[in-house]
Amino acid sequence: MQFSIASLGEEPAHRFVPFVQLCEQLGYDSFTHADEKWTRDVWVRLALAAAGTSRIGLGITVTDPYTRHPALTAQAGATLGEASHGRLRIMLGAGSHFETMPGYASVRPAVGIRESIEVMRGLWSNERITVDGEVVRFVAGTLDFPLRPQDAPSVWVAGRGPQILATGGAVADGVLIGSFATPAGVAWAKGEIGRGLAKTGRTWDDIRLASWLYVSILEHADDPIPDGVRRGVSHALWSSRAIVTGLLEGVELGEGADEFRAFLRDAPHEWSPPVMAELRRLIPRGAFDVLSLCGTAEQVAQRIRALEAEGISEIVAWPFPAGDLDVEDFAIQFAHEVFPRVRGRVTRGSYQLVD
């Protein structure tokens, strides 16, 4: 099991590089950064992270084919891949916040993702390529600098919808499954990924699976759910309402379940502040177990081991510290209390004692 930590771009500049360096020292396998509108820019931040580290992987969670043309993403990815000596992963998804950018829209995202990967891989192969796709168009372009194969980024697909998961199975190096925190949720996602694998003749050996999860470590199992986790789960629920509603069928959600299920069924599908506030108020405890890792260190570790048994090889943790802790505190706590429970304590060997 590999462990990665994710940033939404909220850390101020003076804390960002030290935070990535701390994660490298703690043994995290990767540090990923959102291409979120309108937080701090992902490419600037990952360039700083690359310059300040030497081992830890770097990732973009998640960019889209619309607000950044895939050829420009390929250009930036090749530049950063060269600078980081092949430590970069680019994860593609459907995108969000298009309402703030008139003229841009997420049109046929599964097609856009597939065509984007074709453009990016072609450019990273130092080819002159043309792609006349349904969503992406690129004519006779090539990079003006050579990229070594070992420095080319890997390309993952991120999502929770059937078509995007199947696209990941068909063409990606890995699939980042969004917010499904139970073996049942992962099994459902694998069914869709498997359709893509079968379509292109690939096997499970050709792909890696990661789970992208809201994570909080509580002192006691019944402590309140942190507001950040509540907000993240509400977004997962609302952006994939039909899918998540299906996953919640038959799940014991606990107190308030009937009112919550009625809201999912009847509420208008809009992102207005009143609707989202009411959704967050109604989410019962059991729903958080379906869409987040929120519990004591031992509970979180047990649930990660269950995901590993279902084929997940990496946890990408969106950190939501409990109480008065900072993200740096969370990174230390998660590394010290969860890593050893999942993959054993690292043996570093003895050192010489002096008199």
Q: What is the mean pLDDT of residues 249-275?
A: 93
Write out the two tokens for 151.
């420095």
Cβ–Cβ under 8 Å, residues 334 and 217: yes
The answer to whether residue 232 is domain-embedded is no
Cβ–Cβ under 8 Å, residues 197 and 203: yes
- For residue 128, the domain's CATH number is 3.20.20.30
The answer to whether residue 246 is domain-embedded is no
The answer to whether residue 58 is domain-embedded is yes
Closest CA to 296 of 212, 350, 222, 189: 222
DSSP calls for 238-294 = HHTHHHHHHHHTT----TTHHHHHHHHHHS-S---HHHHHHHHHH--HHHHHHHEEE
Q: What is the mean pLDDT of residues 274-299?
A: 96
For 226, the enclosing helix (H) or strand (E) is none
DSSP 113: H
pLDDT(259) > 80: yes
**What is the model's pLDDT at position 238?**
93
The answer to whether residue 131 is domain-embedded is yes
Percent of the chain beyond pLDDT 90? 90
Q: What is the mean pLDDT of residues 179-204?
A: 97
Q: What is the mean pLDDT of residues 76-81?
A: 98
The answer to whether residue 338 is domain-embedded is yes
Type of residue at 67: T
pLDDT(300) > 80: yes
Q: Which long-range contacts (CB under 8 A, 24 or more apart) does 17-23 make?
A: 17/48, 17/49, 17/52, 19/327, 19/328, 19/331, 20/49, 20/52, 20/53, 20/56, 21/52, 21/53, 22/328, 22/331, 22/332, 23/56, 23/331
Task: Give the predicted TM-score (pTM) of the model.
Answer: 0.94
Which residues touch 285 (CB under 8 Å, ≥6 apart)?
Answer: 225, 253, 254, 255
The answer to whether residue 317 is domain-embedded is yes
DSSP calls for 61-105 = EEE-SSSS-HHHHHHHHHHHHHHTTS-EEEEE-----GGGSTT--
User: Domain span at residue 179?
Assistant: 2-217+295-343
For 209, the enclosing helix (H) or strand (E) is strand 208-217
**What is the model's pLDDT at position 351?**
81
Per-residue confidence at 179, pLDDT binned at 50, 70, 90? very high
Q: What is the mean pLDDT of residues 18-39?
A: 95
Cβ–Cβ under 8 Å, residues 91 and 157: yes
Write out the two tokens for 282.
């109604």
Q: What's the mean per-residue pLDDT of the chain?
A: 95
Per-residue confidence at 118, pLDDT binned at 50, 70, 90? very high
The answer to whether residue 253 is domain-embedded is no
The answer to whether residue 242 is domain-embedded is no
Tokens 């992962």 belong to which residue? 186
Q: Round to whole Å and give the CA distance between 354 and 6.
A: 41
Closest CA to 169 of 189, 208, 196: 196
**What is the model's pLDDT at position 209?**
98
Percent of the chain beyond pLDDT 70? 100
Q: What is the mean pLDDT of residues 182-207?
A: 97
Q: How many CB atoms are located within 10 Å of the residue 252 CB?
A: 9
Of the spans 100-104, 106-110, 252-256, 295-299, which averages the highest pLDDT?
A: 295-299
Number of domains, the chain = 1
Residue 316: phi, psi to the nearest 5? -100, 105
Residue 104: phi, psi to the nearest 5? -105, 145
pLDDT(348) > 90: no
